Structure formats: C-alpha cells, structure tokens
Amino acid sequence: MNIEKAKKIKGWMRISELQWIAQQAATHSNILEVGVYEGRSTRAWIDNLQENSRLSVMDSWDTEYGNGEGPIHFNTFKQNLKDKLCDITVIHGKSSSQLSLLKKEYDCIFIDAAHDYLSVTVDCTLAGQLLVPGGLLCGHDYEPSHSGLMKAVKELFPTVQNPVGTIWSVTL
C-alpha cells in the first residue's frame, strides 16, 4: 500500500481513510472519483491501482468553488498528479450534468463533491446507475457536521456502512 505522496497533498482525508482508498484501489478495476479538489484521495487511488485498471475523476473546479479559486485548485491538482495524469481520465464539469453522460461500467464510485442534501441525492442516484452489479458506491464526510449528506445517504441506502473515519460505503 502506497500513500506517501497522497499524505503530502492538501486536503481533509485522514491517513486511515487514504489507507482504505488504497485497499479499494487494489481490488477494483474501473473506478470513478467524483469531487477531487487538489488530488489527495486521487493520489491514493492512482498509486494503488492494479495493472490494467482504470481511474476516472470528475470535478468542476472552476464552478463549484464560490470563492473564485477553482482554477487554482485545478492547476494544483494537475501539479500534484503530473506524473500520473496520462493514466487518469479527467472529466471537467459539474457532476449533476456529467454523470448522466457516462456508461454503466464502474465497479467502484467514490463521491466527495457537494455535501448538501439535494446534491448528494442526485450524485448518489446518478452514480448508482453507473455501477455494475455488485459495485461499490462510497464517499467521504459521513459525519454530523454534514447532516444533509448523512440524511441523503441514509435515506437512499439503509444498509450503509461506515468502514473507517468518515467514509461511507454500500455494495449495490
């Protein structure tokens, strides 16, 4: 398991959560990460992928961040992953519009985009339609400070698990 480079990237993902992501990367072959910020978790995914596996990432960068810093975060993401960008499919756009354009082919989708109830409901519903049978839908920030996220996930997935830290997961 390799998370050394991920640990050096700015973000809110805990070490134990990065380790969990690294474990999932080693056991899944077609992964989509929705919401990547500056690439801390992306780094854990890409550094632990099995041979012939695929990683796609999606973020709007320039439209999600109301403070005008989206382009800065995108440039930092590219810098943080510069040695692996050719191995990552980058989808630049808002998840609510981009997810509906993808094919049902993923065996793991990780959601860490907007945390409000409506956005999480839409992202989870659309992402769930892209998973192959038995696929893993998971995400970050499953904690009381993100009550809208928790409510949406619990309503959609009554059997949701909390494997580590603030990670949530469900097999569909």
CATH classification at residue 105? 3.40.50.150
Per the structure, the count of domains in the chain is 1
- 106 CB burial (10 A radius; 0-12, 13-18, 19+): buried
Per-residue pLDDT of the chain in tens (172 residues, 90 and over written 9): 999 999 999 999 999 999 999 999 999 999 999 999 999 999 999 999 999 999 999 998 865 555 555 678 899 999 999 999 999 999 999 999 999 999 999 999 999 999 999 999 999 999 999 999 999 999 999 999 999 999 999 999 999 999 999 999 999 9
CA 43-160-95 angle, to 5 degrees, is 50
pLDDT of residue 111: 98
* CA separation for the pair 13, 37 (Å, rounded): 11
pLDDT of residue 1: 94
Predicted structure pTM score: 0.95
- For residue 118, the enclosing domain spans 4-171
Q: What is the CA radius of gyration of the chain?
A: 15
